[in-house]
Amino acid sequence: MAPKLSHRFKLILNIAFITLAILFFALLFIFKGSMNKLVSQKMKDQAGEVIQKTTAQFVDSAYNYQKNGEKFAITFLEFGTTGCIPCKKMAIVMQEIKEKNPYRVKVQFYNVLLPKSQDMMKCFGIAAIPTQVLLDASGKEVFRHTGYYSTDELEKEFQKINP
């Protein structure tokens, strides 16, 4: 009789473990947006005052078209790598956006694996890739998305920023 009880206990334990694992992953999926925001904020906080200040100055000089005289209305910053599959799909989207909006949208790619992109990544709190950040003509962040985002979806966001 004892071996049957032990077998039942193992079965119940396995079922409980599998149920908890499924529940854990479901909660991760449900709260991924909130978790991404939390991690992004932590990364921004860890960037340090000097990095935040110098990066903010760079963003202002490069992407504040009201000050620098460039004629763009929107900046599309893409944070990713050249190796991940969703990032490769976003490379196609970036090219389409450049072709459809050559004078309206400035497209800029930051490879997060390169040292020169690290400060921008920290300043913007990039926690996962690919991440798209849209800036208005004054260089202020107005939209952010993590994961693949189609050309059509981006065009809709552009219309919200500058109709």
The per-residue pLDDT for range 3-15, each reduced to its tens digit, is 566 888 888 888 8
pLDDT digits (tens, 9 = 90+) for 36-53: 677 677 777 777 888 889
Q: Please provide the average confidence, as pLDDT, over all residues in the chain.
A: 88
Confidence at residue 4, expressed as pLDDT on a 0 to 100 scale: 62
Q: What domains can you pick out in the chain, each with its CATH number? A: 31-161 (3.40.30.10)
Give the model's confidence band at 33: pLDDT under 50 very low, under 70 low, under 90 confident, else very high.
low
Cβ(158)–Cβ(98) below 8 Å: no
pLDDT digits (tens, 9 = 90+) for 77-96: 999 999 899 999 999 999 99
What CA–CA distance (Å, rounded) separates 102 from 104?
A: 6
* For residue 163, cis peptide bond before it (omega within 30 degrees of 0): no
State pTM to two decimals.
Answer: 0.77
d(CA 151, CA 92): 9
For residue 154, pLDDT beyond 90: yes
Predicted confidence band of residue 136 (pLDDT cuts 50, 70, 90): very high
